[in-house]
Amino acid sequence: MDIIIVSNKKGRTWRVTLSPRHFRSWLPAGIAAFALLGLSFLMGYGLKAFDDRLPVDIHGLWADEIKAQRQQLAQMRDGFQNNTQALARRLAELHAHVTRLDAAGARMTQMANLDKGEFDFSQPPPLGGPEEATTEAMPLQIDGVFASLDAFENQLSNRERQMRVLEDLLLASRLQKQVRPSGWPIADGWVSSGFGLRMDPFTGRRAHHAGVDFAAPIGTDVLAVASGIVSDVGERFGYGVLVEINHGNGYTTRYGHNSLAIVRIGDQVRKGQMVARIGSTGRSTGPHVHFEVMLNGKVVNPAQYIDAAR
């Protein structure tokens, strides 16, 4: 087979004769050249693909890692915020406990007539003394903080319940003193007649006197010797203008011969409150208040209640 090559520029021609012998001699070189070109192409394509694929894989790994770290950071931030809010709520509860304890302590101090300087619940207790610094590390553990707060809150709750009981006992004792008759029914005056047998001022014969007479000028304030409820007011035979007060626990007191009653039936009165004004109404020889004490419906000697306030 002949191949004719023509050059337009030089006007020349070349003739190449390809015979089977020549083809066989050039075939290995052609195959080698083709293989070399193919291998070069494949290596170039492979390197290009590797260069394109490697940065994409690394970027994906980094993106996933950053995303995971952001999620972990968000969880830590949420946990810290929740712990902070829980700690703030717990501290607010403890502050409320302390406030209630301070109020209860102040009331108990007042009811027990204690020295405010000695029991001042608005100020911290005086503390002091030498202390040695510790070198031990004290790591801050949020679980330990909450455990300590729980223990402290339980202690405060127990103290508060104990103080409530003491407050109730003090209040009951104070109320008992308020409702139990004690003291004089007038602020100033003198005892003109005692309890028991005496000479009757109208008949001159011995008779039983059911109360104690306190003499004072007309118009002097007549005072309740205990807290209670007014159970009777008005003109009563022998008593003149009478005021009767029921104090509970079986106690009743009477105030007779008044010139004027200040209270009415059903009124609530406190110990030391004015209930009437001294007069000389009824079976009386002069201005005074007839004072009686009754226990469970029976007249008793007022002397023990009069002297109880001294």
Q: How confident is the model at residue 199 (pLDDT cuts 50, 70, 90)?
A: confident
Q: Examine the pLDDT at 222 and tell me if it is beyond 90.
A: yes
Which of 37 and 116 is assigned the larger pLDDT? 37
Q: Which residues contact 152 (CB under 8 A, 6 or more apart)?
A: 94
pLDDT for 50 equals: 47
Is residue 162's pLDDT more than 50?
yes
- Tokens 């104090």, located at residue: 247
| Tokens 């004015």 sit on residue | 274
Mean pLDDT, residues 116-136 taken together: 58
Q: Would you state the pLDDT for residue 290?
A: 96
Let me know: does 292 contact 302? Beta carbons within 8 Å: yes
Of 75, 109, 132, the last residue of a domain is: 75
Closest of 298, 306, 285 to residue 238, by C-alpha: 285
pLDDT reported for residue 137: 47
Average pLDDT over residues 119-140: 57
State which residues form the domain around 25.
2-75
Structural domain includes residue 168: no
φ and ψ of 270, to 5 deg: -105, 160
224 inside domain: yes
> Could you tell me if residue 238 is inside a domain?
yes
pLDDT level of residue 294 (50, 70, 90 thresholds): very high
179 in a domain, yes or no? no
pLDDT of residue 88: 73
- pLDDT value of position 57: 60
Is the pLDDT score of 223 beyond 80?
yes
Query: Do the Cβ atoms of 275 and 262 come closer than 8 Å?
Result: yes
The domain boundary, picked from 75, 101, 126, lies at 75
Does residue 290 fall inside a structural domain? yes
Q: In this model, does residue 231 exceed pLDDT 80?
A: yes
pLDDT above 60 for 172? no
Question: Domain holding 262: CATH number?
Answer: 2.70.70.10
In a domain, 228, yes or no: yes
Is 130 among the domain residues? no
Phi, psi torsion values for 235, nearest 5 degrees: -75, 120
State the total domains in the chain. 2
Helix (H, G, I), strand (E, B) or coil at 266: coil
Q: How far is CA 118 from the centre of its chain?
A: 24
Give residue 246's pLDDT: 93
- Average pLDDT over the chain, rounded to whole? 75
What digits encode the pLDDT tens for the residues 50-103? 444 545 566 567 677 777 777 777 777 777 777 777 777 777 777 776 776 667
Minimum mean pLDDT range among 61-75, 97-111, 282-296: 97-111
Residue 240: count of CB within 10 angstroms of its CB: 19
**How would you classify residue 183: left for phi > 0, otherwise alpha for psi between -120 and 50, otherwise beta?**
left
43 falls within a domain: yes
237-280 tens-digit pLDDT: 999 999 999 988 889 999 999 999 999 999 999 999 999 999 99
CA separation for the pair 149, 93 (Å, rounded): 10
Summarize the confidence of residues 230-240 as an average pLDDT. Answer: 94
Output 30 or 147, whichever has higher pLDDT: 147
Last residue of a domain, one of 42, 75, 108: 75
Give the integer Cα–Cα distance in Å for 154 and 160: 10
pLDDT digits (tens, 9 = 90+) for 7-60: 665 566 666 565 555 555 555 666 666 666 666 655 555 555 544 454 556 656
